[in-house]
């Protein structure tokens, strides 16, 4: 009995859904302009939101690139300067500088390579120029140590290294 009742209810639902409505389909000309305006406003808002999001994404990428490059400079230059100071300490004390030369040269060249490889197109040209100046100065000091440059020349190159490092780090701080 329950089964018969279910079948009857299902047939009523099907028969009720097959009613055909007569008439001619047409747009609601009074509502169409408001609908078009609504769609246009929605598209404009979507474009504006997408533009803002893309701008925020680009800024985030730039910030990450700056932080990464600046961190590389700060970390590796400290190690290089520490090794150069050990070399200078040995030289000033009249000790054999041989054991301190290799570590100083390696640390300077490593710092230069790390900094050079750390930046990309997201960085400003001013920051890239500052990093490149540091890289050149680090190589110059490494060369001065490796070739046993005269003291005056060595000091001139170290001064340049310190100035380029300081200038680059100041730009880093200004970029945060």
Query: Cα(105)–Cα(148) distance, rounded to whole angstroms?
Result: 12
Residue 124, number of CB atoms within 10 A of its CB: 13
pLDDT (tens digit per residue) in 105-131: 999 999 999 999 998 888 889 999 999
Q: Which among 139, 142, 153, 160 has a CA at the least distance from the CA of 168? A: 160
Place of tokens 């001013």: 126
Tell me what pLDDT residue 59 has: 67
Query: Cα(116)–Cα(69) distance, rounded to whole angstroms?
Result: 9
The answer to whether residue 5 scores a pLDDT higher than 90 is no
pLDDT greater at residue 119 or residue 23: 119
pTM for the model stands at 0.68
Confidence of residue 12 (pLDDT cuts 50, 70, 90): low
Number of H helices, E strands in the chain: 5, 0
Query: Cα(131)–Cα(110) distance, rounded to whole angstroms?
Result: 14
Give me the DSSP letters along 92-157.
HTT---HHHHHHHHHHHHHHHHHHHHH--TTS-HHHHHHHHHHHHHHHHHHHHHHTT--HHHHHHH
Whether the CB-CB separation of 137 and 117 falls below 8 Å is answered with no
């Amino acid at each position: 009995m329950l089964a018969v009742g279910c079948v009857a209810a299902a047939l009523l639902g099907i028969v009720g859904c097959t009613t055909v409505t007569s008439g001619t389909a047409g747009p609601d000309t009074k509502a169409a302009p408001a609908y078009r305006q609504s769609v246009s406003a929605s598209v404009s808002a979507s474009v504006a939101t997408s533009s803002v999001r893309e701008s925020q994404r680009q800024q985030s990428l730039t910030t990450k690139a700056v932080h990464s490059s600046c961190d590389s400079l700060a970390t590796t230059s400290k190690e290089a300067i520490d090794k150069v100071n050990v070399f200078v300490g040995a030289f000033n004390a009249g000790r054999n500088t041989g054991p301190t030369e290799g570590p100083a040269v390696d640390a300077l060249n490593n710092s230069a390579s790390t900094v050079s490889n750390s930046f990309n197109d997201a960085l400003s040209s001013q920051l890239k120029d500052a990093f490149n100046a540091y890289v050149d100065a680090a190589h110059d000091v490494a060369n001065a140590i490796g070739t046993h440059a005269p003291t005056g020349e060595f000091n001139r190159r170290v001064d340049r290294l310190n100035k380029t490092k300081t200038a680059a780090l100041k730009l880093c701080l200004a970029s945060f």
